[in-house]
Amino acid sequence: MKKEQTLLEAFDQHIEKFELMVGRGMRSDNTLRHWRKLKRHVTAFIKYQYKLSDLKFSQLSGLFAEELYDYLIGVKKDFITRNPMEGFTGFAYQDIYNLTRDSIVLVGTTKERWLVRKRGKTQVGEMVPILPIVDELIQKYMGTLIVSHLIN
């Protein structure tokens, strides 16, 4: 009789297959990192919510997805508290870290300040307005590693 697969075993199998596709150039290494990060979140959620190290598929209830969503929203709120500039620009950490003074452009007749950047993962150009809160964050963290090269 075959042993019932667990949720984290399914994650491991998917990640292994995804690693092979990354190796063949069929998938992005960044997306693989997202899958690994999601597995870490699900692992932490299972320990937090169920006090177990893993769950068999038969142990999943209809509430699992809703409970996981609520847990991840709490994690995201904590993330935004710790990484506010990412939360207000929509840029990934890598994209924010690589911003330079040339990334700030003036747009329109009102000379509104915008951040312009090619996304690191896709190289697709993106523009976002510099919201007042982002301007405040730039001023607040001026001189720190992440912002000093943006301002100077």
Work out the burial of residue 77: count CB atoms within 10 Å of its CB; fewer than 13 is exposed, 13-18 middle, 19 or more buried: exposed
C-alpha neighbours within 13 Å on the C-beta side of residue 114 = 14
Which sequence spans correspond to the domains of the chain? 7-82, 88-151
Model-level pTM greater than 0.75? no
CB 35 within 8 A of CB 15: yes
Q: How many CA atoms lie within 13 Å of 22's alpha carbon, on the beta-carbon side?
A: 14
* Contact predicate 87/80, CB 8 Å: yes
Q: What is the pLDDT of residues 15-50, one digit of tens each?
A: 999 999 999 999 888 889 999 999 998 999 899 889
- pLDDT one-digit tens code per residue, 57-100: 999 988 889 888 888 877 666 655 555 676 667 777 777 777 77
Highest mean pLDDT among 29-38, 98-107, 130-139: 29-38
DSSP annotation of 149 reads: H
